Amino acid sequence: MITVTEELAIPENELWFTASGSGGPGGQHVNKTSSRITLWFDVAGSPSLDLEQKERIQQRLPTRINKNGLLHISAQRHRSQTANREQTIERFAQLIAEALKETPARKKTGIPRGAKKRRLENKKHQGRKKQLRTKIPSDEQ
């Protein structure tokens, strides 16, 4: 069981992993082993999540979910598959927990009085400046 939040735990049998070759430094070892691990999770078909949780995850993690509704997370930092597997599980739990966290509603605030005053004073200043640019009519006509 992977504990995501206090109320939610996802069984490991809902996840599956694929291994592939990873890039980066490592010499001959990189060329011989498949150490990159990709975790796959079927968000839409998961019995552990209710409908509201599924929708929230799909809205908040759209770049990590493909057309088939599969969430994917990859790790290739470590040289071993085991360490990368553990890292993907940790990142999975963290991403799901953050996606399910409720964000508080924004409180609408007004424009501060000082900001209004500064804006109006600036407008008056600009108007006076332009007023001074006008030609003064002469009485010699």
Helix axes 51-60, 81-100, angle to 10 degrees: 110
Task: Please give the pLDDT value at position 31.
Answer: 64
In tens, the pLDDT along 81-139 reads 788 888 888 888 888 888 888 888 888 889 999 999 999 999 999 999 998 888 777 77
Whole-angstrom Cα distance, residue 39 to residue 17? 5
Task: Please give the pLDDT value at position 24.
Answer: 60
Residues 6+ apart with CB under 8 A from 74: 36, 37, 38, 39, 88
Give residue limits of the domains in the chain: 2-100
CATH number given to 2-100: 3.30.160.20
3-class SS shares of the chain: helix, strand, coil, % to 5: 45, 15, 40
Task: Please give the pLDDT value at position 135.
Answer: 79
| 8 Å CB contact between 61 and 71 | yes
Q: Is the pTM of this model over 0.75?
A: no
Mean pLDDT of the region 9-21: 75
